[in-house]
Structures are given as structure tokens and as C-alpha cells.
A and B are shown apart, each in its own frame.
Chain A
């Protein structure tokens, strides 16, 4: 248990669906991250939030839309996804963006059909 929770743990959605992934951290951290982990590929950073402001957006397609309503919660809104978007989506948090250690949630295994 890392102090970072994610729901749902598994999600299957069609290409026309809209769904949201949720992340919550109970560590009092100020920075939160979304990563994508595909088979045989490195972890890919998608978004970084610091004090609820987006500070990094790594050329992610607009069908992925993040939201950070407060420093403890992070959402990833999904719409009109493609099959190649199927992956493990990991949330992480750290004290701030300059800190070394990131704490990861268990991830959401997403399958797009």
C-alpha cells in the first residue's frame, strides 16, 4: 500500500464510450502524475500537475483530458479512444516536482475494444 489509490482497477470500453479514471493520494503531496505503460515500452509520462496546475503535457492526444480539482485528486477523462490506447495507466505523486521519490498507484488496466 503506497498511499495512492486508483479506480477502477480494470476497465473495458468501446471506442465511442466516455469514461474517467480516478486517482487519490493520502500522502499530503503537492505533485501528481499520469503515466501510460504499454507492453514492451518504457513508462511514458503523460501529464504532471503541481499544486493543481498542469506543468507538463507530453504531446498527449486530446482524447485524454486530465483534471486536478485539488492536490489529493487527479482524474483522466477518456473519450473516443483507439485500440492502441489499451495499456496500464499509472498515477503517481511526490512531495513536489523537485523531489526524487514518486509513489505509484496500482494502475488501471484499460482495454479499448
Chain B
């Protein structure tokens, strides 16, 4: 089976940096994904990690440690529009479908 844990809610200040953690236990691993979902909208793809290390994409970065079953999403220079849910998802071996965590609701305040 697969289990994915991430905090339910976080609050951060505009202009600051926030780190959203995700831990997973899977019987196999073939990639970890982060999606952003604004209220009432579809999830949109943010990042993909399959090797250990940091992947940077503008203000967003994602880190993976396969040995620790751990990832984080780092958001820099927070903006009000970053208020959304952030979903961590893991793919097992082969072509198995993604398994999603419950998501972390981030609120950015002034």
C-alpha cells in the first residue's frame, strides 16, 4: 500500500518563504509530483522529482530524498495569489496511477 502525509493547513506572510513537507511510504517509487489547486479550480502541475535533490522553477522549488521518503515544496517571495491547496502525489512502480495526499491548504496573509 501507499501512504502520503502532509500538513493540513499552513499560514505564511506575503513576501516570505514557506516550506510544505510531504512524507510517503510506498511499496515502490517512480516519481513524486506537486500540484497546486485554487479553490473551485482544477489542480495544476507544479513539479516532478524522481532523483534526489532540488528542482528549481522560478519562485517554486521541490526537493526529494528517496532514502527518507521525504519531499518538500519551497515557495519564495510569497504572493497573495499563492493561497491555494498544494497536493503531493506519488507514483509507484511501472505505470501505476498517482496516489495523492490530502493536500496542504496555504493561506498567505498581508
Contacts and interface: CB of A to CB of B under 8 A. Distances in A.
Interface of A: 2, 4, 33, 40-43, 45, 48, 56, 90, 97-98, 100-107
10 contacts: A33-B97, A42-B100, A42-B103, A45-B97, A45-B99, A90-B43, A97-B95, A100-B48, A105-B42, A107-B41
B64 interface: no
Contacts of A98: 95
Contacts of A42: 4, 87, 99-103
Q: Give the interface SS of chain B, mostly helix, strand, loop or mixed.
A: strand
Given A100-B31, A100-B33, A45 B98 contact: yes
Interface string B68-110: 0000000000000000000101010001011111110000000
Given A33-B97, A90-B43, A98-B95, 20 more contacts: A40-B102, A41-B102, A42-B99, A42-B101, A43-B89, A45-B99, A48-B97, A90-B42, A97-B95, A97-B97, A100-B33, A102-B98, A103-B45, A104-B35, A104-B43, A104-B44, A106-B41, A106-B42, A107-B41, A107-B42
